[in-house]
Amino acid sequence: MDLWGDVFKGYASITELSSAEKRAVPYVMECIELLFVSYFENVNNLSCADNAYSIYEFIKKHEKRIWESI
């Protein structure tokens, strides 16, 4: 099962991403997680902040795999 591929196939069934949008996908995902890190630190929920940062690191580590799935 290719989770990333399934996610993007579902999205593409609604609207097609341009090549620029496809290149930006991992960066957008990373930015979203960093926003969660900031939010959870601001509300003093360090457990959720740590979790969001772990997800950020996971996305960062798998950027190539994400691009290949799009």
Q: What is the pLDDT of residues 30-50, one digit of tens each?
A: 999 999 999 999 999 999 999
Question: Minimal CA–CA distance to 29: which of 66, 70, 1?
Answer: 66
> Which two tokens mark 33?
């997680």
At 9 the pLDDT is 83
Tell me if the pTM is above 0.85.
no
Q: How many CB atoms lie within 10 A of CB 34?
A: 14
Structure tokens at 22: 């496809």
Terminal-to-terminal C-alpha distance of the chain: 14
How many CA within 13 A on the CB side of residue 62?
15
